[in-house]
Amino acid sequence: MTDLNLLYEAVVGGKLEIAVETTNSAIADGVNAHSIINDYLIKGMEEIGQRFENGKAFVPNLLMSARAMKGSLDILKPLLKDETSASLGKIVIGTVKGDLHDIGKNLVASMLEGCGFEVINLGVDVTSEKFVTAIKENNADIVCMSALLTTTMTYMKEVIEAIEAAGLKDKVKVMVGGAPVNDTFATKIGATAFSDNANAAVQTAKRLLAV
């Protein structure tokens, strides 16, 4: 019988190979996919997230853990009977027009993906039209915008206005982040939420979608 605590430890420790191996072994043993996700993978991510919040783990640890979890999820998703439960929600993410900084945005994207969200990463220098099109095409639950500059963060408001003009305001939650962005700014431009790090972004996305 597979020791599923190994899977939990693999996620916490960011060990992709062990996570994949243990997941395959658990499936062969007939363990329920939902149980593997809820009782071991998510709990592992919660633990590394908590360590990060406490200053006991760092961004590279989060990324390694997210990678291990994603490796396991990729195996489990086809086994989930209910297609909608294969993903916690769809998220469109991008760095706004004029801004080329993508490392923070990619970090958030990786964490969201690793934690079970379906992520559509639009890259950098993304126009409002491109955001709106991606939200429509993917029927996104959340759109995440990133900016690293005071000169480019103002474009987030234009994107929100474009979302409103497209009649999508009640269908999609808007999350914003980036070095110059804060709660006050987020509220001022009409965003749903602000997050100041990748781990908090995952928690916020879960809270917004009640998952």
Partner 1 sequence: MNAITTNRISNTYIEKSQLKLSDFSIDKTEIYRSLGYMDSIPETQFIEIIDTTLELLTSICKPRIGYQIYEGNFTNKGSIEINNIQLKAGRNIIKYFSKATQFAVFIVTAGIEFDNYMKKLRFENDTVTEFIADAIGSEIAQAGIRNLSKDINAIAQQTGLKISNPYSPGYCNWDLSEQQTLFSLLPAEPCGVRLNDSSLMYPVKSVSGVIGIGFDLAKMPHKCNVCNMKNCSKRIIIKAV
DSSP state of 197: S
Tell me which residue of 116, 16, 17, 12 sits closest to 56, measured CA to CA: 12
- Among 4, 69, 99, 115, which residue sits at the site for partner 1 (rule: CB under 8 A)? 99
- Among 103, 137, 165, 183, which residue sits at the site for partner 1 (rule: CB under 8 A)? 103
DSSP state of 14: T
**Residues of this chain, 151-190, that bind partner 1 according to CB under 8 A:** 151-152, 179-182
Task: Please say which residue, 110 or 146, places its beta carbon nearer to partner 1.
Answer: 110
End-to-end CA distance of the chain: 30
Q: Confirm or reject binding of residue 195 to partner 1 (CB under 8 A).
A: no
Alpha carbon distance 6, 3 (integer Å) = 6
Q: How far is the CB of 168 from partner 1 (least distance, A)?
A: 26
Tell me which residue of 53, 50, 55, 59 sits closest to 14, measured CA to CA: 59
- Among 107, 126, 172, 193, which residue sits at the site for partner 1 (rule: CB under 8 A)? 107
Q: At what angle do helices 59-76 and 16-28 cross, to 10 degrees?
A: 30
Task: Please say which residue, 56 or 171, places its beta carbon nearer to partner 1.
Answer: 56
Q: Residue 13: which H helix or E strand, with range?
A: helix 5-13
Q: How far is the CB of 152 from partner 1 (least distance, A)?
A: 6
Binding site for partner 1 (CB under 8 A): 58-61, 63-64, 66-67, 97-101, 103, 106-107, 110, 125, 149-152, 179-182, 196
